[in-house]
């Protein structure tokens, strides 16, 4: 089986030509792409670990979020704050977890519009089994960094998130200003 490189025609120095246009990326773009590709690789790795338990990462995040709450019962919108998915996707995730008997929906007695998700005993047992294993796997992935580097990484990514939030706030302000015209 020949590799993709060996099928490319060599350039004047005998190196295979790349089909990707070469250009100089800014350091900022290189850093952004590094963050994105690291996330993608990590997500795929963790996804394969969670598949052993029959869960997707978003399903595990829902279960873990409820498990970490003081009551074991959270409104859907609070779960959504922890997720990187739309509200419609949270509904689908909870539907599937309900079918697996890990959670159940509970209507708020005072406000029927509020739907809470409760972790059932089967879900509690599963999260308990996964949590320590999952933390260990993440620890292995992050072990290439020293504690001080991990702290710096958190600081750096927090600063990026703050910048993104300020840009979102600017966009929202512009939309409000434009709608008032």
| CATH T-level topology, domain 46-134 | Arc Repressor Mutant, subunit A (1.10.10)
Q: Which residues contact 74 (CB under 8 A, 6 or more apart)?
A: 65, 66, 116, 117
Task: Give CA–CA dist 150/4, Å, rounded.
Answer: 37
Phi-psi region of 72 (alpha: psi -120 to 50; beta: other; left: phi over 0): left
Q: What is residue 144's predicted lDDT score, i.e. its pLDDT? A: 94
Q: What is the mean pLDDT of each run of 10 residues along the chain (181 residues)?
A: 42 58 81 92 83 89 92 89 78 95 92 91 94 87 94 95 85 68 57
pLDDT of amino acid 47: 78
Boundaries of every domain in the chain: 46-134
pLDDT at 177: 65
**DSSP-based three-state secondary structure for 151:** helix
- The pLDDT value given to residue 104: 97
Query: For residues 49 and 38, what is the distance between their CA atoms, to the nearest angstrom?
Result: 17
pTM of the predicted model as reported, rounded to 2 decimal places:
0.66
- Spatial separation of the C-alpha atoms in residues 90 and 68, rounded to whole Å: 18
């Amino acid at each position: 089986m020949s590799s993709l490189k060996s099928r490319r025609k060599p350039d004047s120095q005998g190196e295979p030509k790349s089909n990707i246009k070469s250009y100089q990326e800014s350091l900022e773009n290189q850093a952004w792409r590094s963050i994105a590709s690291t996330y993608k690789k990590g997500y795929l790795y963790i996804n394969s670990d969670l598949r052993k338990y029959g869960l997707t990462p978003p399903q595990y995040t829902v279960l873990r979020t409820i498990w970490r709450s003081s009551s074991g019962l959270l409104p859907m919108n609070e779960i959504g704050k922890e997720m990187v998915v739309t509200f419609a996707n949270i509904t689908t995730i909870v539907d599937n977890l309900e079918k697996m008997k890990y959670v159940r929906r509970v209507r708020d007695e005072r406000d029927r519009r509020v739907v809470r998700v409760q972790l059932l005993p089967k879900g509690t047992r599963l999260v308990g089994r996964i949590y320590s294993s999952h933390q260990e796997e993440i620890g292995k992935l992050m072990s290439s960094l020293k504690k001080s580097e991990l702290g710096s990484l958190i600081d750096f990514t927090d600063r990026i998130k703050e910048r993104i939030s300020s840009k979102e706030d600017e966009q929202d302000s512009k939309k409000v200003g434009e709608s008032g015209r």
